[in-house]
């Protein structure tokens, strides 16, 4: 039996590109790097002048960055938008391989092609008491959300990482309007010791959250989904994926849903209802 055969009996994807478009405003813009700052460890904060993207980007959107004009690497890298304040966008990323390493070597005055804003957005949920759950670099779209909507609604942030070094954005986070900030590190070097999921249930209960928005490693999201199951909250998650194009053309970034279909993380996501994702872990 072929690999295809196994899926033939399952729910068929109902899909049409026009319905999946969220960003008719996406552009391939020549950004100009204003600042590239090492935050210690493998973490970098990049400030890029990209006025067109900065003007239209909303929390949840991401960009595809061409880290080199050569054929090495061939593909762009998907990076979340930490913050946008025209004419600037801020990207926060971890050096994980060849592409991000090349990006980290660029500096002020260097040009870089960025395609965006891409993907869908987090729902605004006016009036709701929203808990943001950020694991490591998963802070990126949630920071954007808090910056954009923190003035208008009560927001709580649960932020965790392996060690203090994995939570270098803390100073910047303190500039956000939050009603509660809960920090976890696995080694106890910052905040409470343990996984952020250890504290999730108690925080949801005591802080009376109506909704959650999560972003982080897949194992963390799977555990968050398990803990929040049947609690009656509205839960959303932003996913990370390897992408070929970032705008729905290549179908390379598929994620499995509990209905048995595949969804493209790039233009049908990256934000999905938490319960819809079939976790691999």
Partner 1 sequence: MADLKVDLGFGTLKNPVITASGTFGYGEEFLPFFDLDILGAIVTKGIFREPRPGNPPPRLQETPAGLLNSIGLAGPGSSALQEIIRRLHAKTSTPIIVNVCGEDDDEFAEVAAIFSAMDEVAMLELNISCPNVKKGGACPAQDAGHTARLVKRVKEGIRKPLVVKLSPNAADIVRVAQAAQDAGADALSLVNTFLGLAVDLGKRQPVFANVYAGLSGPAVKPLALRLVREVCRRSYVPVIGMGGITSGRDVLDYILVGAAAVQIGTVNFYEPAAAVRIIGEIEAEMDKLKIKDLSEIRGKLQAG
x-or-dash pattern for partner 1, window 262-281, by CB under 8 A? x----x--------------
Residue matched to tokens 């279909």: 261
Question: Quick check: 115 and 26 in contact, CB under 8 A?
Answer: yes
For position 251 contacting partner 1 by CB under 8 A, the verdict is yes
Q: Which of 13, 41, 86, 111 binds partner 1 (CB under 8 A)?
A: 13
Question: Quick check: 151 and 177 in contact, CB under 8 A?
Answer: yes
**Of residues 20 and 211, the one with the C-beta less far from partner 1:** 20
**Of residues 22 and 47, the one with the C-beta less far from partner 1:** 22
For position 17 contacting partner 1 by CB under 8 A, the verdict is yes
For position 232 contacting partner 1 by CB under 8 A, the verdict is no
Cβ at position 242, least distance to partner 1 in Å: 6
Q: Which string of DSSP letters, residue by residue, matches 160-227?
A: EESSGGG-TTHHHHTTS--SEEEEEETTSSSSEES-HHHHHHHHHHHTT-SEEEEES-HHHHHHHHHH
* Alpha-carbon torsion (270, 274, 279, 281), positive or negative: positive
Categorise residue 175: left if φ over 0, alpha if ψ from -120 to 50, beta otherwise: alpha
**Secondary structure of residue 111 in the 3-state scheme:** strand
- Where does this chain touch partner 1 (CB under 8 A) — which range of 7-15, 42-50, 55-63, 166-174? 7-15
Cβ at position 70, least distance to partner 1 in Å: 9
Q: Which residues pair with 184 in a beta bridge?
A: 160, 192
Question: Quick check: 118 and 23 in contact, CB under 8 A?
Answer: yes
**Of residues 12 and 175, the one with the C-beta less far from partner 1:** 12
- Where does this chain touch partner 1 (CB under 8 A) — which range of 66-74, 120-128, 177-185, 218-226? 66-74
For position 41 contacting partner 1 by CB under 8 A, the verdict is no
| Chain positions contacting partner 1, by CB under 8 A | 2-4, 7, 10, 12-18, 23-28, 66, 71-76, 115, 241-245, 247-256, 260-262, 267
């Amino acid at each position: 039996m072929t690999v295809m055969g196994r899926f033939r009996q399952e729910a068929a994807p109902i899909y049409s590109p026009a319905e999946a478009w969220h960003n008719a405003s996406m552009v391939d813009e020549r950004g100009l790097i204003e600042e590239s700052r090492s935050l210690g460890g493998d973490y970098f904060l990049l400030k890029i002048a990209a006025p067109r993207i900065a003007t239209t980007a909303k929390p949840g959107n991401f960009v595809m960055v061409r880290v080199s004009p050569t054929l090495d690497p061939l593909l762009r890298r998907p990076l979340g938008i930490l913050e946008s304040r025209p004419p600037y966008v801020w990207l926060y990323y971890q050096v994980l391989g060849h592409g991000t390493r090349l990006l980290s070597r660029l500096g002020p005055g260097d040009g870089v092609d960025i395609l965006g804003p891409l993907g869908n957005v987090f729902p605004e949920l006016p009036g709701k008491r929203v808990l943001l759950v950020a694991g490591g670099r998963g802070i990126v779209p949630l920071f954007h959300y808090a910056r954009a909507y923190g003035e208008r609604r009560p927001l709580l942030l649960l932020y965790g990482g392996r060690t203090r070094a994995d939570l270098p954005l803390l100073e910047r986070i303190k500039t956000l309007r939050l009603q509660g900030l809960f920090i976890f590190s696995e080694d106890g070097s910052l905040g409470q010791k343990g996984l952020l999921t250890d504290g999730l249930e108690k925080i949801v209960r005591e802080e009376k959250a109506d909704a959650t928005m999560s972003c982080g490693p897949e194992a963390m999201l799977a555990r968050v989904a398990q803990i929040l199951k049947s609690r009656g909250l509205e839960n959303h998650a932003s996913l990370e994926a390897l992408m070929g194009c970032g705008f729905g053309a290549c179908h390379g970034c598929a994620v499995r849903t509990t209905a048995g279909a595949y969804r493209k993380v790039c233009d049908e996501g990256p934000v999905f209802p938490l319960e819809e994702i079939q976790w691999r872990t």
